[in-house]
Structure 1
Amino acid sequence: MKLQIAIDRVSLEQAELLTRKLAPHADIIEAGTSLIKDYGFQALERLKAAAGAAKLLGDAKTIDEGAYEFRQGYKHKADLLTVMGASSVETLQTCYAVAEASRTEMMIDLLECTPEKVAQIIHFPNAIYCLHTSVDQGASANPNQEVLAFKKAFPTVQRIAIAGGINLQTLAGMAEADPEIVIVGSAIVKKEDPVSAAKQFRKVMQETCKYSM
């Protein structure tokens, strides 16, 4: 289980500082959608330089012009980029082709995707499928059950991430589901001591992984 820390709705300078502080405690640092909208893909280069050994994900939420946006994102040093599962199958195919050619990774954001749509887009073996409860909707009620239900419905999908209101309590309950990536934002970044919060999440995650073995 990997920890992805999402940094969003702050200045680029704050994002860079947070990245330097949090990267040692994360597997992936996420440059959130609002950060990219405020500062563009070029901001990824500064965050990548600050990320050290952690990978950098650009939450572009691409929904059209997939090849162009993915080439630009990878050009500016992203290791992973997101595309919306609600976009056309052709857009997803284009993004996946660019990711594979670049030897990088694609995350498919399944926000508001119906089971029927998911069934159309599960043929990307190296893609990460992200179960996502939106900020406007609030926290996921039971992320463990959400991941288990998805695995049962789509058993061929090997790589799963989950995002949306994950806290220490819900993380501790995810031993059975054991997704590849857990994405945490405000529960770390908005704390008075983000580094201490990240360490707490890492500790719970290590314990959870032990229980899931």
Structure 2
Amino acid sequence: MSGKLLQLALDIDDTAVALKAAAAAADVVDIIEDGTVLCLAKGLESARELRAVFPDKDLLTDIRIARAGGKFARMCFEAGADRVSVVGESGLGVVLSACNVADEFGGGVEVELYEGWADEDIREFVNAGVQVLIVHRNRCDEAENKAVREQLQRLHSLVDGTSVKVTLAGGLNRETLRLFDGCPFDVAVVGSAITKAADPLAVAREIRDVLDSMS
């Protein structure tokens, strides 16, 4: 087994629908993501409801903080989040303030990387206390897939020997995941492939099997 984790992204604008999908796949997924869409549609009440239903699951509130890092992070942690997300373009000060609040709650910060990030940016994020770095596919074409594979290799060389994890997100399903076999990442984020499936648990199990078979 590869040890790669499966994160379920609930980018759904209806809390009841999101809870139903999460409940169906909960036995297979490692991390539940209170997706940006759900956060915007329902506010942090969605995080409170997810925490109440899944008290033992790792919960990410993906609000993509861009300003007032400490203030917004505190709101998320008070709502029950284990980790919050910050956009890398927000700058080191925002990341640091979010990390300081995360420390108060025993939580963590994830940074979504931006196009053209530099090695020094990664070193600064790691030194700030960031727990997870996110590589996000957008266009999902072969040229971008190649670039993402290269980014994953670069990140691995930069965070190797630290506790920082690397997350791969963006249009992932059982087929697209195989494009990244052999790449060094720790967490795969899967959303609609599971939440829109007729049988979310069956699809989650298939994706888990793919992850477990990866090198």
Q: Which amino acid aligns with 2:33?
A: E
**Alignment map for 1:88-99 (pairs within 5 Å):** 88-99=91-102
Match of 1:59 in 2: 62
Q: Take 1:190 and 1:25, find their aligned partners in 2: how far apart are those partners?
A: 16
- Secondary structure of the residue aligned to 1:26 is coil
Q: Give CA deviations for 1:154-211 in whole Å, capped at 9, x if unaligned.
A: 6566321111122223423544223111111122222222211101011111122xxx
Q: Indicate which of 186, 198, 206 corresponds to 2:204.
A: 198
Q: Give CA deviations for 1:127-173 in whole Å, capped at 9, x if unaligned.
A: 20111123xx3465245443113324665663211111222234235
Shift of 1:3: 0.5
**Alignment map for 1:132-147 (pairs within 5 Å):** 132-134=136-138, 137-138=139-140, 141-142=145-146, 143-147=148-152
TM-score for both structures, normalised by structure 1:
0.86
TM-score for both structures, normalised by structure 2:
0.86
Equivalent pairs counted in the alignment come to: 207
> Which stretches in structure 1 are left out of the alignment for 5+ residues?
none
Match of 2:12 in 1: 9
Q: Indicate which of 150, 157, 161 corresponds to 2:155.
A: 150
Q: Take 1:32 and 1:185, find their aligned partners in 2: how far apart are those partners?
A: 9
Shift of 1:38: 0.8
Q: Does 1:163 align with 2:169?
A: yes
Structure 1 residues 103 and 9, CA gap change in structure 2 (3 angstroms): same
Moved more, 20-29 or 151-160: 151-160
Moved more, 150-159 or 172-181: 150-159
Q: Give CA deviations for 1:23-73 in whole Å, capped at 9, x if unaligned.
A: 211100111101101111122111112225321111010011111111110
Shift of 1:121: 3.0
**Alignment map for 1:40-51 (pairs within 5 Å):** 40-51=43-54
Q: Does 1:128 align with 2:132?
A: yes
> Which stretches in structure 2 are left out of the alignment for 5+ residues?
none
Q: Take 1:197 and 1:178, find their aligned partners in 2: how far apart are those partners?
A: 23
Q: Take 1:102 and 1:113, find their aligned partners in 2: how far apart are those partners?
A: 32
Shift of 1:117: 6.9
Structure 1 residues 3 and 93, CA gap change in structure 2 (3 angstroms): same
RMSD (Å), alpha carbons: 2.2
Question: Quick one: higher RCO (CA 8 Å, sep 6+), 1 or 2?
Answer: 2
Q: Percent identity?
A: 24
Q: Take 2:178 and 2:137, find their aligned partners in 1: how far apart are those partners?
A: 18
